């Protein structure tokens, strides 16, 4: 089996710092080309990544050498771009979120099935060290049965670029909710019974939400609360797991992103002062954070294309997340709890 020739569409922050960089770390993948409409950006692509620079996704779809297309583009255009690539016989990875509607979700899934090609979403936060640590605490029963989960991802200040444009899928809800909802559904595999959401719009001269809260309830009574904010100068815990025999609390975010931006993702090792802690009422026990490894995502994509492993981020799991996210939009607009 030869290397999987890969093309990235878009060379903004995600295309440059995430996708094109991570692809170069996977021996089975070959960074073949990157598409950008901007001539100056294409010059930078050649200088920085040493691969071909093309102008459009149409150029990529017409290239018979390309096996895998990665969309690092605004969410609103994901569906049309992914379907075009799938119909051209390419496997496709889409940066999160998949899209903005269930209708587009199902169109994309149908195109992947019709063309017998892989479609997946870059849910890199399933490979965060703090997420993996929480996963191990749940699986080991370290704090007993967990009935309530709170997750927060918060910052201070407005977003920019296309993420400041609601029509393109901008705002905190879609950007951060796509991660936290996905993680919540991995923690609690039971069927979702209801979703309630609120969104706040506090940025001047912007139509994107500045804050959002999503409450997900599950069959059997478990609850997950996802708190997303761009107006928080002092953040809540990233994870708070309420168990029958204790509570696990973890602040901060996985260090891989900053290390990756610096060009050496393997340097993203969390220090002991950032470890989470288990509180039992009579004791406090630090829990070493497991090492995160984002390149696992693309190693799995390569294995799935070669037929040696199932997709780690399957479309069944992505569709379930999209159902929750779109139900949350409906809830925020109507003020009602959406029952499944």
Q: What is the pLDDT of residues 233-257, one digit of tens each?
A: 888 999 999 999 999 999 999 999 9
Q: Please, where in the chain does CATH 3.30.360.10 lie? A: 125-292+324-339
pLDDT at 1 (0 to 100): 57
Q: What is the pLDDT of residues 82-139, one digit of tens each?
A: 999 999 999 999 999 999 999 999 999 999 999 999 999 999 999 999 999 999 999 9
pLDDT at 263 (0 to 100): 84
CA dihedral sign, ordered 102, 77, 75, 97: positive
Q: Please, where in the chain does CATH 3.40.50.720 lie? A: 4-122
pLDDT at 270 (0 to 100): 93
8 Å CB contact between 136 and 248: no
Please confirm whether the linkage preceding 97 is cis (ω < 30° from 0): yes
From the candidate CATH numbers 3.40.50.300, 3.40.30.10, 3.40.50.720, 3.30.40.10, the one assigned to the domain spanning 4-122: 3.40.50.720
Low-confidence ranges of the chain (pLDDT < 70): 1-2
pTM, 2 dp:
0.95
Check if CATH label 1.10.1040.50 holds for domain 125-292+324-339. no
Q: Are strands 146-154 and 223-229 parallel, antiparallel or unpaired?
A: parallel
8 Å CB contact between 205 and 218: no
């Amino acid at each position: 089996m030869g290397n999987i020739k890969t093309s990235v569409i878009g060379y903004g922050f995600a295309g440059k710092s995430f996708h094109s960089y991570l692809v170069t770390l996977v021996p089975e993948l070959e960074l073949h080309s990157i598409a950008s409409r901007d001539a100056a950006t294409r010059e930078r692509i050649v200088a920085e990544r040493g691969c071909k620079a093309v102008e459009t996704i149409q150029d990529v779809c017409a290239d018979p050498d390309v096996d895998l297309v990665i969309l690092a583009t605004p969410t609103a255009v994901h569906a049309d771009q992914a379907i075009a690539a799938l119909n051209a016989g390419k496997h496709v990875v889409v940066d999160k979120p998949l899209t903005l509607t269930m209708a587009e979700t199902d169109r994309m899934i149908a195109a992947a099935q019709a063309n017998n090609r892989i479609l997946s979403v870059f849910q890199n936060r399933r490979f965060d060290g703090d997420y993996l640590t929480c996963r191990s605490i749940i699986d080991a029963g370290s704090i007993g049965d967990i009935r309530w989960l709170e997750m927060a991802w918060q910052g201070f200040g407005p977003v920019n670029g296309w993420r400041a444009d609601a029509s393109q899928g901008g705002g905190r809800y879609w950007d951060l909710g796509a991660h936290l909802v996905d993680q919540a559904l991995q923690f609690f595999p039971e069927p979702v019974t209801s979703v309630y959401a609120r969104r706040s719009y506090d940025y001047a001269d912007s139509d994107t939400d500045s804050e959002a809260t999503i409450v997900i309830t599950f069959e059997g009574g478990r609850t997950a609360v996802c708190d997303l904010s761009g107006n928080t100068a002092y953040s809540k815990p990233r994870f708070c797991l309420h168990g029958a025999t204790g509570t696990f609390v973890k602040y901060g975010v996985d260090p891989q992103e900053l290390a990756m931006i610096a060009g050496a993702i393997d340097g993203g090792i969390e220090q002991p002062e950032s470890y989470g802690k288990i509180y039992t009422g009579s004791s406090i026990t630090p829990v070493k954070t497991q090492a995160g490894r984002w390149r696992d995502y693309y190693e799995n994509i390569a294995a799935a294309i070669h037929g040696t492993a199932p997709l780690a981020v399957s479309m069944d799991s992505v569709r379930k997340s999209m159902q929750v996210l779109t139900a949350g939009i409906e809830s925020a607009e109507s003020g009602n709890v959406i029952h499944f």
